[in-house]
């Protein structure tokens, strides 16, 4: 059986990841793809959803090292019990965040050593990586403005200052510059333009794998 593929959406709060995943899922279904699995990180398994609720709770005091390790505990549980088995049976896995978020948020945002993060990744995930990452790039103020307009209150990360998000964006863009599997999309554009760019990038990738 042809192995599946793992396509991940990354970006700041409010950049449009969930919206674009729904668009891509519909696009693939309209072409007859039936086996599509959506994941989110942190989360996506019973264990990881429990960690997610701690990680996002504004009343929790979480030190950066604990935050990083909980992100990887959540991720490795998801990869081993959901993502890998889905890919092995040929599914399309559409991820709302993955490893690049740890580089950007814990590395850029919290200022943790990127080499330490890479070594944790190697230790728990080996060479497992997404096939394609779509980085929805947006100015933090614009992204958080969209989050606030939903009116559901801010989580623990969303309460951080703008500088935290500026550092995250810098790491996102720096990582993308050195990795051809990460495509940067201007997420400040009108939605139809953003989804059009998503469709083009995914087409390109699917053509390249035949």
Query: Using CB atoms within 10 A of its CB, is residue 76 exposed (0-12), middle (13-18) or buried (19+)?
Result: middle
- With contact defined as beta carbons under 8 Å apart, do 136 and 20 qualify? yes
Sign of the CA dihedral with 59 first, then 162, 140, and 95 last: negative
Closer to ligand T5A by CB, 4 or 11: give it: 11
Write down the residue that tokens 């500088």 correspond to: 163
- What is the nearest approach in angstroms of ligand T5A to the Cβ of residue 136? 7
Q: Which is nearer to ligand T5A, 41 or 131 (CB)?
A: 41
Nearer to ligand T5A, 34 or 115 (CB): 115
Min CB(89)–ligand T5A separation in Å = 24
23: helix, strand or coil: helix
The rounded distance, in Å, linking the Cα atoms of 129 and 127 is 6
Q: How far is the CB of 38 from ligand T5A (least distance, A)?
A: 12
Interface with ligand T5A (CB under 6 A): 11, 13-19, 40-42, 71, 97, 101-102, 105-106, 146-147, 150, 157, 187, 190-191, 194
Residue 32 or residue 190: which is nearer to ligand T5A going by CB? Answer: 190
- How far apart are alpha carbons 152 and 74 in whole angstroms? 24
Closest CA to 43 of 28, 60, 55: 55
Q: Which is nearer to ligand T5A, 71 or 94 (CB)?
A: 71
182's tokens: 């990460």
Tokens of 24: 């891509």
Phi, psi dihedrals of residue 127, rounded to the nearest 5°: -100, 20
Q: Decide whether 157 or 205 has the Cβ nearer to ligand T5A.
A: 157
Q: Output the smallest distance, CB 2 to ligand T5A, in A.
A: 28
């Amino acid at each position: 059986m042809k192995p599946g593929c793992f396509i991940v959406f990354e970006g700041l709060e409010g950049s449009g990841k969930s919206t674009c995943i729904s668009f891509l899922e519909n696009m693939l279904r309209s072409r007859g793809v039936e086996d599509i699995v959506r994941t989110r990180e942190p989360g996506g398994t019973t264990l990881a959803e429990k960690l997610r609720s701690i990680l996002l709770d504004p009343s929790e005091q979480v030190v950066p090292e604990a935050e990083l390790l909980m992100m990887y505990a959540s991720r490795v549980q998801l990869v081993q019990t959901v993502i890998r088995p889905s890919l092995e049976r040929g599914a399309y896995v559409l991820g709302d965040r993955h490893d690049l978020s740890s580089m950007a948020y814990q590395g850029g945002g919290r200022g943790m050593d990127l080499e330490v993060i890479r070594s944790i990744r190697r230790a728990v995930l080996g060479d497992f990586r997404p096939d394609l990452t779509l980085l929805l790039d947006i100015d933090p103020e614009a992204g958080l403005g969209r989050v606030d307009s939903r009116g559901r209150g801010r989580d623990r990360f969303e309460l951080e200052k703008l500088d935290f998000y500026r550092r995250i964006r810098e790491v996102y863009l720096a990582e993308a510059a050195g990795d051809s599997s990460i495509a940067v999309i201007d997420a400040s554009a009108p939605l139809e333009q953003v989804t059009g760019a998503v469709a083009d990038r995914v087409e390109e990738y699917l053509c390249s794998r035949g």
